[in-house]
Amino acid sequence: RDPGLRQPHPLPHAAGRGLRATVYDGARWGELYDLARDPHETRNLWDDPAHAGVRARLMERLAYGMLEHIDTSPYPTALA
C-alpha cells in the first residue's frame, strides 16, 4: 500500500434514478452527477439551476436516511 494514500472515508451521499449527490462537512457546495449521461463524473451539476429540484430531493433523502440511522452510527456522539 502506498503510504501517501489514506484509507477512503465514507462521504454522505444520496443516489437514485441514475443520479448521485455527495456533500462535504463544512462546505457550502457538493457534487451532483447524472451517472447515465456522465458515468465518469466529469460534469458537476450541483450549481446547475435545471437540476436544483433533483438536488433538493436527493438532499432530503440523505437527511431522512441519516435520521433513520442516527442511533446505529458507528461514530460516538459523546465520550464516556
Structural domain contains residue 31: yes
- Quick one: which H or E segment has residue 23? strand 19-23
pLDDT in tens, the chain (80 residues): 455 545 454 566 677 778 888 888 888 889 999 999 999 999 999 999 999 999 999 889 888 887 787 776 666 666 65
Structural domain contains residue 51: yes
C-alpha–C-alpha distance, residues 26 and 7, integer Å: 20
Tell me how crowded residue 23 is: count the other CB atoms within 10 A of its CB: 20
Is the CB of residue 33 less than 8 Å from the CB of residue 43? yes
Structural domains counted in the chain: 1
Structural domain contains residue 53: yes
- Output the CA–CA distances (angstroms, integers) from residue 64 to 47, 59, 69, in the order listed: 22, 9, 9
Structural domain contains residue 19: yes
Question: The domain containing residue 53 runs over which residues?
Answer: 13-70
pTM value is 0.68
At 1 the pLDDT is 47
Grid coordinates belonging to 64: 431522512
